[in-house]
Structure 1
Amino acid sequence: MPRFSTRTRLATVSALTALGALASLGTATAADPALNGEWAPFTRCPVDSAPMLAADGLAKTPQCVVSTSAGGSIKLGKTTVVTGKTDLQIGVVQNADGTSSVVAPPSGALVADPATVPGGLLGLMCPSDVPVITAICRTLDDSGLNRITATMESVGAPYAFDQTAGILTDLPIVALPVRIHLENPLLGGKCYIGTASNPIVLRPKNLNYPEFGMSFFQGDGTPDEAGEMSRINLTGATQNDSAFAVPAATGCGLNVGLINAAVNAKTGLPSAAGNNSLTLDNTRTHLTGLNAPGTVAPDAGRVLAKNWHSAVK
């Protein structure tokens, strides 16, 4: 039966546990392909990206990671939002020196279900001593216009992996730059907390160790104890980050920016580190790669991509 070397196993478990920390931040889209068998969770792995294809299996080893959760919560300033079903997917290139780099899918690492903001616009910006905001607040009572949703989005690839932290607790594992899109007809389409140039940067830590499992399969995803592929499964971990800062909301209001001040004042933004918190519940994380990538060097990345495509239904 194929097995990982000690170095490869440690790197794999480390990276996988690290991504478990982000499980509550991203969900599959209708455009994602359906994949066979053990490949099924990896619908957005960027196997065709240049860094993944270039991984030779010796100096650089390509892997796919997916991390999901049914829910969690995030506190930004004075507002706490319960998150829904989420999905995070990335490619990881493990380097021979123990470092790694992250490759995000073209659509971004995170794809998240929208979450409903408690109290809607009434809770987000009312009451206000600004006349135009007061007028808006008067129209919202018992109005369908009150509902507001928040969706977390990637604004760059994850970075700063610490593989040691990935298998321990209470150490930052990886940095994830995100922004939060606030949506409501009165907010317009450009109301965000965080931007690409000034994102919220999450650095979650493990609070407990996940349960570990492993399976093996053929290149097309068919389960096979002697298969050329393997999948590590980590379940049941909870992660937290209470050290990130949150910038002010920008772009809010049909006349872009009109409602910024009201939203920030009521929500308590910008919010310094220590006043915010992310909690991720019951994560399910999977990492897959070739059992013996060195045996197909220098084509490990191309073989991984071929296998992924062979699993598409």
Structure 2
Amino acid sequence: MRPRRTGGSARRPGPRRGALVGGVLAAAALVTATITSPATAAEADVAGGVESTLAGHWAPFDRCPVDAPEMLAADGAELAALCLASSSASGTMTIGKKTVPTAGTDLQIGLLGDGNDYTSVSPEGAGIRAEPVVVPGGLLNLMCPSDIPVLTTLCEKAADSRLNRVVATVEPAGTPTDFSLTAGLSVGQPIITLPVKIRLDNILLGGNCYIGSDEDPILLRPRNTAQPTLELVRYAPDGTDQVDGVMSNIVLSGADQADDSFSVPKANGCGLFGALDWAVNAQLGLPSPEGANSLVLDSASTVTGGFYNPAAHAPDQGRLLSDYWHAAAR
């Protein structure tokens, strides 16, 4: 069956600064843009709601927005369309004095580039998918102890393990921006800006308690903390190994990524009509300024894929990328 066509929107890069060459894909792949996801089996929605996998080396790109108008319009000579999938199975996030683990999360976007500038295209739904994390210590850890009467009452109620459980989930709060190829080739420079928000699920806090929002997101700018290892894979359009295949993946792995430059806005929607926003803010010290927060993604892995030489497939490079992607569906 055929995966559901994905879509997205992105700003078209500015004037061309140089002709595309065969090495443009290899260069783009050196960027480890990330927040995250476990390297799970590639799954794609298909008509009728049935899930499918993509064959062979296409597998990491199950949500690549190959059918977004901008991606389809890429000619390969002036502008090339690529797929990027980035993952990290674990890590930590610190907000003020509170530190919680991160679980597997998955960032997938399309990239449009001219060899110098790259613009991201988000897939339909969300570019970032994250596994929920049970907050260690639950509500007692986030809110207690406290000498504020209302919080003291909450802490007493939270002694019941059922009420204490808090699940945190990172969600997208906008389209990634500021993708930098130069930063991906170096260590310690922001690679991409990822707007996110964090949902806190708890019986007492409700299911609409967020730290950050679409209007006021947490802006993560991950950086390489070391140079990752690089592996080049050439393959045929059907995803099978081929030494001189027209398709190419470059896999970067083994390096942590981190960011300690982001601020964290106030909570919203916590408790009935937001009645507990102030309590969450008070206990977590929100808003939390730059320098008081940090993110570490363990052993981040990034796969960038597309045509090894996009210009050789002009003027239909974007359309061919879509055709091969759909044909790889199992």
TM-score by length of 1: 0.92
Query: Which residue does the alignment assign to 2:288?
Result: 271
Q: Encode CA deviations 1:159-179: one digit per residue, 9 max, x unaligned.
A: 112211111011111111110
Residue from 292, 300, 303 that aligns with 2:309: 292
User: Any unmatched runs of 5+ in structure 2?
Assistant: 1-18, 46-50
Q: Distance in 2 between matches of 1:38 and 1:272?
A: 42
Q: Encode CA deviations 1:49-101: one digit per residue, 9 max, x unaligned.
A: 111111110111000011112101111122111111121111001124x1010
Q: CA contact under 8 A between 1:24 and 1:83: conserved in structure 2?
A: no
Q: Distance in 2 between matches of 1:26 and 1:104?
A: 19
Task: Kindly indicate whether residue 193 of structure 2 is the aligned counterpart of residue 180 of structure 1.
Answer: no
One-letter code of the match for 2:297? L
One-letter code of the match for 1:43? D
Q: Distance in 1 between matches of 2:322 and 2:212?
A: 34
Query: Which residue does the alignment assign to 1:140?
Result: 158
% identical equivalent positions: 46
SS at match of 1:256: helix
Task: Kindly indicate whether residue 237 of structure 2 is the aligned counterpart of residue 219 of structure 1.
Answer: yes
Q: CA contact under 8 A between 2:25 and 2:308: conserved in structure 1?
A: no
Moved more, 114-123 or 125-134: 125-134
Q: CA deviation at 1:14?
A: 4.9
Q: CA contact under 8 A between 1:242 and 1:277: conserved in structure 2?
A: yes
Q: Give the length in aligned residue pairs.
A: 306
Q: Distance in 2 between matches of 1:15 and 1:71?
A: 25
User: Any unmatched runs of 5+ in structure 1?
Assistant: none
Query: Which residue does the alignment assign to 1:22?
Result: 35
Seen in structure 2, the aligned counterparts of structure 1 residues 241 and 7 have a Cα distance that, compared at 3 Å, is farther
Q: CA contact under 8 A between 1:21 and 1:238: conserved in structure 2?
A: no
Q: Encode CA deviations 1:174-222: one digit per residue, 9 max, x unaligned.
A: 1111101111121112111111011000111111011111111111111
Q: CA contact under 8 A between 1:25 and 1:88: conserved in structure 2?
A: no
Query: Which residue does the alignment assign to 2:124?
Result: 106
SS at match of 2:274: coil
One-letter code of the match for 2:66? V
Moved more, 47-56 or 30-39: 30-39
Moved more, 121-130 or 295-304: 121-130
Q: Distance in 2 between matches of 1:200 and 1:89?
A: 19
Q: CA contact under 8 A between 1:25 and 1:110: conserved in structure 2?
A: no
